[in-house]
Amino acid sequence: MTDMTTQIQSLPQDGLNRGSLRERLEEPFMRGGQIGLLLLLALVFFLPVLGTLLTAVRTIPDITQNGAWALPSSYEWGNLSHAFVEMLPYLRASVIITLPSVAGTLMVSMMAGYALSRMRFQGRIWMFLVIVSLSFVPIHTQLIPVFRLMSDLGLHDTFLAQIIVHIMRQIPFAVLIMTNFFNTVPGELREAGRIDGASEWTIFRRIYVPVARPALSALIVLEFTWIWNDLLWGLVLTQGSGKKPVTVGILSFEGEYEIAWNMVASGAVVAAIPTLVVFLAFQKHFIRGMTMGSVKG
């Protein structure tokens, strides 16, 4: 009985709303298209990674005979552990360079961002513009001056030189992010802090830094990846093998007459693992940091 009535009721509707049929088809079609496109993009971005992974676990004759894309004739997992052992000094150097660089960048950018966003002083806007515009200076114009500067300072082939340069290069972006983040934090928090008896430093340290945790997580992931993956400064500012980062270390598998592609790939895989770990560790905050401005409205 109820079936009958619903049928009768729905009949004329179908006749009237022919457009709705198309709309109903359109939705899954569009959705399918979107997913397909995303899958395609994901595949395109994953292919080089796949190639590297495949290359990393095969032998040199296998590579020369079958090319990079065939499945390995034998899986040489030993390549990875061999590469890891070979790369240990470089990994150590990268850690010594990257951690202080990230920490230094964050320290400077948090304080600068707080001051530029919250304190009113003469030339504030100009200072902000100058700092941010420094990121537009092409890196290539800085190579020779920075090299000579570090030589003159007696810092050539030291970790310190690389740390200083990384912090210098990363400050503009990090300051931009932190300033904009602190701009979204209500100014009343600072005033409430002042009334509660907090000094400017206490307000920064105990109110604004904890509130900035999502933005900090996002910055840590980005800065860690960028500094860890740097090749150029590692090449320019070092001489001996002791101070070179992993990115340069991968090149050590290039012999004079031949390149051990499987070891280069293994080295790349080993070098990529720390950035992956950092990303996974901060991933939740990272996503929140990226969407923060939009959610707050």
Binding of another protein by 4 (CB under 8 A) = no
What does DSSP assign to residue 207?
I
Binding mask 137-176 for another protein (x = CB under 8 A): ----------------------------------------
CA distance 72 to 67: 10
Our finding on whether 284 is near another protein (CB under 8 A) is no
Cα(188)–Cα(19) distance, integer angstroms:
53
Q: How far apart are CA 51 and CA 244, in angstroms?
A: 26
The number of residues that bind another protein (CB under 8 A) is: 16
Task: Indicate the burial class of 235 (C-beta count within 10 angstroms; 0-12, 13-18, 19 or more).
Answer: middle
Which of these, 125, 105, 44, 102, lies nearest to 228 by C-alpha position? 102
Q: Nearer to another protein by C-beta: 19 or 210?
A: 210
Report whether 260 contacts 60 (CB < 8 A). yes
Q: Which of 15, 48, 186, 255 binds another protein (CB under 8 A)?
A: 186
Is 191 a binding residue for another protein by CB under 8 A? The answer is: yes
**202 touching another protein, by CB under 8 A:** yes
Q: Residue 293, interface with another protein (CB under 8 A)?
A: no
| Number of CB atoms found within 10 A of residue 58's CB | 23
Binding-site member from 122, 195, 240, 256 for another protein (CB under 8 A): 195
- Contact stretch for another protein (CB under 8 A) within 5-13, 75-83, 210-218, 278-286: 210-218
Q: Which residues contact another protein by CB under 8 A?
A: 186, 188-189, 191-198, 202, 207, 210-211, 213
